[in-house]
């Protein structure tokens, strides 16, 4: 701290006069002395080998120039899905999530000065419960995959059983994360096959695999192929008869038209809230949805829960607070339901405002627009030589698998990208090396779909 003043916009006390005064009160002679408790053997005796800092302007220019190398909409067309999807984020949602009161606050530990976040999260929980047909939804988890991992762990705790059945048509990202999450619990995974023609779960195979040691079935609806599991009610009663629980993974925007998991008997619903007003953000932050049907199960849930209460001195007024905290790590430590501390609150606020903005009618009409666009696109692609679209016969929502008679999916994927169209992420592990996944939503115009078709014609 020798030499001239060098105050920095982020470091208000970096000034010889300030530092001098402050050191006197602390009783240290120099700033170096403040670190005299670090033993010499572990002190870093050299400057960090990093570039020196830049001005706000210089950094902004450098980082923006690098980001511009990304190929993204509107210059590039994106028809990718698989668990993150291109949807429109209304300006009003961005306005709300850009409020610094929301984004520069911490977890609402002091309820009296955090009623804004607490009430917004409570509204999120309520809206999600309605959308999912569930009774208790937590304040969010990291993303769909980790929510699925937590759900399967919870089922292990609740049932004491150790086998998990996974649909063979769930997303590979969820499969991978579930495996990582349950490995230490000694739980095992078994895959339920899917019907090669429809893309739906094979209920005969499910029957064969159900047994007394099965804790739950995890399946997705719509599944990874975009196909709607319209036999979900039969599937859940089959699973329940064997004493196991049902965990359903959903794309919340599909629930504008498709029956909600609570209505077909799911015990736990998880899903990806990203379509509800959250940008794709190259992988995150997104929104892990986690909800249970039976409020009694809430006590075994991971994550923050917001509840309704009153001020101590005014029983007539509403107030909000974090509840059932005895489940959580900061109280229960090694006995906690999960180690989750930070969640995705800001994203939950985005989802709450998104659903409030669209409303019942707007949300349903959005679903109709999506399904009309995706079916139009699937049909358009089917007119291309060497292309089977959709590959599966089952009814689909916004995604569908396309297969190529002669071309490899990897090469089609690369060739489309070179033409400025991001589409057809390979589904080789699930379907075969000559098929890819396509996603069409409300953001795609007829011209966009025509451009996709033209590019695919050249790519196959």
Partner 1 sequence: MRRESLNLPELSELQVLRHFNRLSQMNFSVELGMYPLGSCTMKYNPKVSEMIASSDAMKGAHPLQPAATVQGILSIFYDLERALCEITGMHRFSLSTAAGAQGELAGVLMIRKHLAEHGGGGRDEILVPDSAHGTNPASAAMAGFKVVKVPSGADGQVKASKVKELSSEKTAGMMFTVPNTLGLFEGEVKEVCDAVHAAGGLMYYDGANMNALLGRARPGDMGFDIVHLNLHKTFATPHGGGGPGAGPVGATRRLADYLPVPVVAKGKTGYSLDYGLRHSIGPLKGFIGNSAVLLRAYIYIRLLGASGLKDVSSMAVLAANYLWKSLDPEAFPASHEAGLLRKHEAVVSVKGELPGSAMTVAKAILDLGMHAPTVYFPLIVSEALMIEPTESEPEEMLDEYAEALNSIYAKMKDGTLGPVPKNTSVGKVDEVKASHPLTLRVHW
Within 285-344, the residues that bind partner 1 by CB under 8 A are 285-286, 295, 298, 304-314, 317, 319-326, 328-336, 338-344
Q: Applying CB under 8 A, which part among 227-235, 239-247, 371-379, 400-408 lies near partner 1?
A: 227-235
Q: Encoding tokens for residue 279?
A: 């940008």
Residue 372 lies near partner 1 (rule: CB under 8 A):
no
The nearest distance, CB 447 to partner 1, in angstroms, is 18
Pairing of strands 319-322, 163-167: unpaired
Residue 258 lies near partner 1 (rule: CB under 8 A):
yes
Q: Applying CB under 8 A, which part among 16-24, 159-167, 200-208, 377-385 lies near partner 1?
A: 16-24
Q: Encoding tokens for residue 36?
A: 């005299």
C-alpha separations of 198 from 225, 229, 382, 423 in Å? 10, 10, 17, 22
Q: Which residues pair with 250 in a beta bridge?
A: 271
Of the two residues 242 and 329, which places its CB atom closer to partner 1 in the complex?
A: 329
The nearest distance, CB 422 to partner 1, in angstroms, is 6
Residue 451 lies near partner 1 (rule: CB under 8 A):
no
Give residues 75-104 in contact with partner 1 (rule: CB under 8 A): 76, 78, 80, 82-84, 86, 89, 92, 94-96, 98-104
Of the two residues 53 and 386, which places its CB atom closer to partner 1 in the complex?
A: 53
Q: Which of 26, 29, 197, 372 binds partner 1 (CB under 8 A)?
A: 26
Q: Which residues pair with 338 in a beta bridge?
A: none
Pairing of strands 163-167, 214-220: parallel
Distance separating alpha carbons of residues 118 and 97, to the nearest angstrom:
15
Residue 242 lies near partner 1 (rule: CB under 8 A):
no
Distance separating alpha carbons of residues 290 and 143, to the nearest angstrom:
10
Residue carrying the six token digits 């396509």: 438
Distance separating alpha carbons of residues 86 and 24, to the nearest angstrom:
57
Please choose, from the candidates 233, 219, 224, the residue with its C-alpha nearest in 3D space to the C-alpha of residue 262: 233
Angle at 68 between CA 65 and CA 73, to 5 degrees: 160
Contacts for 229 with CB less than 8 Å, ≥ 6 apart: 200, 201, 219, 220, 221, 222, 223, 235
Q: Which of 169, 353, 389, 435 binds partner 1 (CB under 8 A)?
A: 353
For the beta carbon of residue 259, count every other beta carbon within 10 angstroms. Answer: 15
Q: Which of 157, 180, 393, 458 binds partner 1 (CB under 8 A)?
A: 180
Q: Which of 2, 3, 4, 64 binds partner 1 (CB under 8 A)?
A: 64
Residue 188 lies near partner 1 (rule: CB under 8 A):
no
Of the two residues 129 and 266, which places its CB atom closer to partner 1 in the complex?
A: 129
Residue 4 lies near partner 1 (rule: CB under 8 A):
no
Of the two residues 9 and 385, which places its CB atom closer to partner 1 in the complex?
A: 9
Residue carrying the six token digits 């999600």: 128
Distance separating alpha carbons of residues 174 and 191, to the nearest angstrom:
13
Distance separating alpha carbons of residues 328 and 337, to the nearest angstrom:
6
Q: Which of 5, 207, 296, 364 binds partner 1 (CB under 8 A)?
A: 364
Q: Applying CB under 8 A, which part among 63-71, 156-164, 199-207, 385-393 lies near partner 1?
A: 63-71
Distance separating alpha carbons of residues 163 and 80, to the nearest angstrom:
33
Contacts for 120 with CB less than 8 Å, ≥ 6 apart: 102, 348, 349, 352, 353
Q: Which of 87, 114, 156, 253 binds partner 1 (CB under 8 A)?
A: 114
Distance separating alpha carbons of residues 22 and 399, to the nearest angstrom:
61
Q: Applying CB under 8 A, which part among 154-162, 228-236, 383-391, 401-409 lies near partner 1?
A: 228-236
Q: Which of 169, 198, 223, 256 binds partner 1 (CB under 8 A)?
A: 256
Distance separating alpha carbons of residues 215 and 187, to the nearest angstrom:
9
The nearest distance, CB 195 to partner 1, in angstroms, is 16
Residue 422 lies near partner 1 (rule: CB under 8 A):
yes
Of the two residues 37 and 212, which places its CB atom closer to partner 1 in the complex?
A: 37
Phi, psi of 334 (to 5 degrees): -65, -15
Residue 122 lies near partner 1 (rule: CB under 8 A):
yes
Residue 20 lies near partner 1 (rule: CB under 8 A):
no
Site track 380-419 with partner 1 (rule: CB under 8 A), x = hit: ---------------x-----------------xx--x--
For the beta carbon of residue 99, count every other beta carbon within 10 angstroms. Answer: 13
Residue 22 lies near partner 1 (rule: CB under 8 A):
yes
DSSP labels for 198-210? T-SB-HHHHHHH-
The nearest distance, CB 383 to partner 1, in angstroms, is 26
Q: Applying CB under 8 A, which part among 5-13, 236-244, 378-386, 450-458 lies near partner 1?
A: 5-13
Residue 155 lies near partner 1 (rule: CB under 8 A):
no
Q: Which residues pair with 322 in a beta bridge?
A: 306
Residue 39 lies near partner 1 (rule: CB under 8 A):
yes
Contacts for 330 with CB less than 8 Å, ≥ 6 apart: 341
Of the two residues 44 and 447, which places its CB atom closer to partner 1 in the complex?
A: 44
């Amino acid at each position: 701290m020798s030499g001239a003043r060098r105050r920095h916009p982020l470091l208000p006390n970096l000034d010889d006069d300030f530092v001098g005064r402050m050191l006197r009160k602390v009783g240290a002679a120099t700033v170096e002395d403040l670190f005299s408790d670090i033993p010499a053997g572990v002190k870093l005796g050299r400057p960090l080998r990093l570039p020196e800092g830049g001005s706000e302007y210089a950094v902004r220019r450098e980082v923006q120039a690098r980001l511009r190398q990304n190929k993204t909409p509107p210059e590039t067309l994106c028809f990718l899905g698989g668990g993150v999807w291109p949807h429109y984020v209304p300006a009003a949602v961005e306005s709300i999530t850009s409020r610094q009161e929301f984004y520069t606050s911490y977890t609402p530990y002091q309820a009296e000065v955090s009623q804004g976040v607490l009430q917004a999260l409570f509204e999120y929980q309520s809206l999600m419960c309605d959308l999912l047909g569930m009774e208790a939804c937590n304040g969010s988890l990291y993303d769909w995959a980790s929510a699925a991992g937590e759900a399967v762990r919870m089922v292990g705790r609740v049932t004491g059983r150790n086998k998990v059945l996974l649909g063979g048509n769930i997303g590979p990202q969820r499969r991978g994360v579930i495996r990582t999450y349950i490995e230490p619990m000694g739980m095992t995974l078994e895959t339920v096959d899917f019907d090669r023609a429809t893309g739906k779960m094979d209920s005969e195979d499910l029957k064969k695999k159900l047994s007394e040691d099965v804790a739950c079935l995890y399946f997705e609806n719509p599944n990874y192929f975009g196909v709607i599991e319209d036999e979900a009610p039969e599937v859940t009663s089959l699973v329940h008869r064997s004493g196991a629980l049902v965990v359903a993974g959903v794309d919340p925007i599909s629930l504008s038209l498709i029956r909600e998991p609570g209505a077909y008997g799911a015990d736990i619903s998880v899903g990806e809230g990203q379509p509800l007003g959250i940008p794709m953000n190259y992988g995150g932050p997104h929104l892990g949805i986690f909800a249970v049907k039976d409020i009694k199960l809430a006590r075994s849930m991971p994550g923050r829960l917001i509840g309704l209460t009153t001020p101590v001195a005014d029983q007539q007024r509403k107030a909000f607070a974090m509840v059932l905290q005895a489940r959580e790590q900061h109280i229960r430590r090694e006995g906690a339901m999960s180690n989750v501390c930070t969640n995705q609150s800001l994203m939950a606020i985005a989802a709450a405002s998104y659903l409030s903005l669209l409303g019942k009618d707007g949300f349903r009409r959005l679903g109709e627009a999506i399904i009309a666009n995706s079916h139009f696109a699937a049909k358009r692609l089917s007119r291309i030589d060497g292309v089977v679209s959709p590959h599966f016969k089952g009814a689909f929502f916004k995604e569908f698998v396309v297969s190529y008679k002669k071309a490899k999916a990897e090469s089609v994927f690369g060739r489309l990208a070179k033409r400025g169209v991001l589409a057809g992420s390979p589904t080789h592990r699930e379907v075969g090396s000559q098929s890819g996944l396509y996603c069409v939503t409300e953001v795609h115009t007829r011209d966009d779909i025509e451009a996709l078709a033209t590019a695919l014609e050249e790519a196959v």
